[in-house]
Amino acid sequence: MKKLISLLLLTCTTIIYSQDIVDLENFYTDSPENSKFKHYKDIQNKFIPFIGTWRSTTGNVTFILTLWKESHVPFPNAQNPKFQIDELRGHFKLIENYQTSSETIIFSSETGVGGTSPTGWPGVLFSSPIQTQMASGTIYDISAPPNTQIPRRNFVLTINPGNSPVTAEWNVSSSGTFQIENQPLTYSIPINAILTKL
């Protein structure tokens, strides 16, 4: 009898918490009511061309962008998940005199806001691309000095087909900030650049 009850409870729990796996493209067309308990997955592997390290150098400063895939990201947050989604996430570095004996890291987004936060961010770039050659989303330029605004920007990364090595156009536009009163708005990341995949 105990085994039967345990099996029945396990079956009910599995049914209640089971999750439909659907293509990420459906995320943009599903209604909020229809998205509950779904996992919007990169079934078609559209993230693959973007994953890796990208570089652009202007003068003696190099911008390094590292992208990876996170699966099963709870949305809107881990405490109150309505559904799960695959995301493209990233970090960036600004490096002076890249790959020389005097190389200096100006900033790494892995260190946190203004380079002084004791804990880093899990990522400062967020996207869920549904096109093979183009990703768009949000990037936070947390290299701003402490106690200033943290610029939030929209980005578009468009891969140039047929290039070897692989290159992409990087374009950024303003989308707002975490406002701190009476502080200047500063940006450190490139706004328009050609990135090369390493």
Q: What is the pLDDT of residues 106-128, one digit of tens each?
A: 888 886 555 555 555 667 888 98
Query: 11 lies in a domain?
Result: no
β-partners of residue 173 are 154
pLDDT digits (tens, 9 = 90+) for 143-181: 666 555 566 788 999 999 988 999 999 999 876 555 445
- Cα(153)–Cα(171) distance, integer angstroms: 10
Going 24 to 28 to 34 to 70, the CA torsion angle's sign is positive
In a domain, 161, yes or no: yes
Asked, for residue 149, whether it belongs to a domain, the answer is yes
Question: Taking the mean position of all CA atoms in its chain, how far away is CA 7?
Answer: 40
Q: What is the total count of domains within the chain?
A: 1
Lowest mean pLDDT among 59-73, 78-92, 137-151: 137-151
Q: What is the pTM of this model?
A: 0.79
Neighbours of 4 (CB within 10 A): 8
Residues facing residue 127 across a β-bridge: 88, 137
CA distances from 129 to 25, 38, 109, 185 (A): 9, 18, 22, 29
CA angle 185, 102, 55 (to 5 degrees): 55
Most confidently modeled of 17-26, 50-59, 165-174? 50-59
* Structure letter (DSSP) for residue 37: T
Domain-embedded: residue 22 = no
Q: Is residue 81 part of a domain?
A: yes
Pairing status of strand 83-96 against strand 61-75? antiparallel
Q: Range of 104's domain?
A: 44-197
Whether residue 155 is contained in a domain is answered as yes
Tell me the mean pLDDT in the region 4-21.
54
In angstroms, the CA 17 to CA 31 distance is: 20
> Considering the domain boundaries, does residue 20 fall inside one?
no
Domain-embedded: residue 98: yes
| Per-position DSSP letters for 138-149, written without gaps between them | EEE-TTSPTTS-
| Mean of pLDDT values over 81-86 | 88
